[in-house]
Amino acid sequence: MAAAAEQSSQQASAARAWHEVVLQTLKRNDIRLVPYVPDRVLTTLIKNIHADPFFTTFPTAREEEAVGIVSGAWMGGMRGAVLMQTSGFATLANVLASLAIPYQIPLIMFVSERGTLGEFNYGQSLVCRTMRPLLDSLAMEHHTATRLDEFEFIVDRSIKQAIATQAPVALILSPLLTGGKVFDK
Amino acid sequence: MSPTNTNTKVMNRFDVTSRLVAKLKNEEAVIGGIGNTNFDLWAAGHRPQNFYMLGSMGLAFPIALGVALAQPKRRVFALEGDGSLLMQMGCLSTIAALRPANLCMIVMDNGLYQITGAQPTPAAAVSDIVAIAIGCGISNSAWAADEQDFERLVIESLSASGPTLIGVRIDDKPGVGATRRDPVQIRERFMLGLGVRQQL
């Protein structure tokens, strides 16, 4: 029975794209507020979140601003998550160290990873290398999602852990999961 | 000076903050930006619905926007310095696009980074923050001419149908008090004050 349920769950997740897993897992965890700074890889996810009246979603001018917004919303009783790209994450050291971590706010971040596995812009590959050292230097929880079959587990458990422990989490979406962005002339 | 504030009086941050707090009768939330702005909010008398920032310069308005979106029936005020707003001016466009009617933003403008030694901001002699806010799409933006005009604008904002921004020209005095730097307690008490949490 358990094996059958597991198999059918694997088939169900295999039938879904990674961005559908994100959208459905956000919903299941009552995460309604999704400010973002866009990224090519996130295009379909952003479009689908806009199309779903469950969500309040909008672009912000900077990633830091989006972190401020979801932090305020959390304190007001509304759950949120921020979508961004690697280079945007690199702007967040100060707000993580001065707001999210010391005030114990369960900041949930989805970071579309650029700068690796086929990057064509040297600056992107350099800034990408700052991401995990920054996360590690602040002892922040982070996971790099590379496989669709374990993606829902990572996202769902990470959201629940962030909320239960009142600590931020970064979910890094590897090109192995999303396909990434490739040079198109 | 800049075009929209030629007739405004130079006021005092602590006095203006105290006048704001005195007008709040319905558990309105107040977000105090870093430095002197939240020191004077603290000094004006702690309220359970006050949130004090201890870093992340420029995020008072985004944090207040988040509270306003989460609790649309509660009025939310944000106090920010002019130097802080310069750090995160893009948030004015975000707020203009979302049009939260329950959000009132107050900019304490002395043209100075008072707390670091009163150096002038790059905007000091050339930029008009109220004109910038209007340009960003926050049409309900005005300089307070004097203390009575400030109180009038605050009262108007309580029934506004879109976001409000009030510019206040202030002197170069430092804050009166000093916020107790205990971020977890600040956040937890704020959540209790907003009715999101119950006492253990």
Domain ranges of chain A: 19-113+120-169
Question: Of B30, B6, B34, B2, which Cα lies nearest the Cα of B16?
Answer: B30
- Option in A76, A98, A103 nearest B66 (CB): A76
Under 8 Å between Cβ of A95 and B178: no
A73–chain B Cβ distance below 8 A for any pair: yes
What per-residue confidence (pLDDT) applies to A51?
Answer: 98
% of chain B surpassing 90 pLDDT:
96
What confidence tens digit (pLDDT) does each residue in B41-78 have?
Answer: 999 999 999 999 999 999 999 999 999 999 999 999 99
B102 inside domain: yes
For the question of whether the overall pTM of this predicted structure is more than 0.90, the answer is yes
For B60, the enclosing helix (H) or strand (E) is helix B60-70
CB atoms within 10 A of CB B169: 22
Contact (CB<8Å) B59/A95:
yes
DSSP per position, B127-167: --HHHHHHHHT--SEEE--SHHHHHHHHHHHTT-SS-EEEE
Amino acid occupying residue A21: V
Contact (CB<8Å) B58/A64:
yes
A108–chain B Cβ distance below 8 A for any pair: no
Q: How far is the C-alpha of B173 from the C-alpha of B115, rounded, in Å?
A: 9
Residue B55: helix, strand or coil by DSSP?
coil
CATH code of residue B49:
3.40.50.970
Please say if the pLDDT value at position A14 is more than 60: no
Measured on CA atoms in the order A141, A39, A174, A121, is the torsion positive or negative? Answer: negative
Under 8 Å between Cβ of B166 and B144: yes
A56–chain B Cβ distance below 8 A for any pair: yes
Under 8 Å between Cβ of B105 and B67: no
Q: In 3-state terms, chain A is what percent helix, strand and coil (to 5)? A: 55, 15, 30
Q: How far is A149 from chain B (nearest CA, A)?
A: 34
Please give the tally of structural domains in chain B.
1
**A vs B: CB pairs below 8 A:** 125
CATH class for domain A19-113+120-169?
alpha beta
What per-residue confidence (pLDDT) applies to B186?
Answer: 98
A68–chain B Cβ distance below 8 A for any pair: yes
pLDDT in tens, chain B (200 residues): 456 766 899 999 999 999 999 999 999 999 999 999 999 999 999 999 999 999 999 999 999 999 999 999 999 999 999 999 999 999 999 999 999 999 999 999 999 999 999 999 999 999 999 999 999 999 999 999 999 999 999 999 999 999 999 999 999 999 999 999 999 999 999 999 999 999 98
The domain in which residue B182 lies consists of 3-193
What band does A183 get if pLDDT is binned at 50, 70 and 90?
confident
- Chain A residue numbers with beta carbons less than 8 Å from the beta carbon of B63 are 68-69, 71-72, 75
What per-residue confidence (pLDDT) applies to B142?
Answer: 97
Residue A144: helix, strand or coil by DSSP?
strand
- Option in A70, A77, A80 nearest B196 (CB): A77
B200 inside domain: no
Q: How far is the C-alpha of B92 from the C-alpha of A126, rounded, in Å?
A: 31
A97 DSSP 8-state letter: I
A33–chain B Cβ distance below 8 A for any pair: yes
- Option in A62, A77, A99 nearest B88 (CB): A62
Q: How far is the C-alpha of A97 from the C-alpha of B109, rounded, in Å?
A: 27
Q: B179: which residues sit within 8 A by CB, 6+ positions away?
A: B32, B38, B39, B41, B42, B52, B54, B186
- Option in B57, B62, B194 nearest A69 (CB): B62
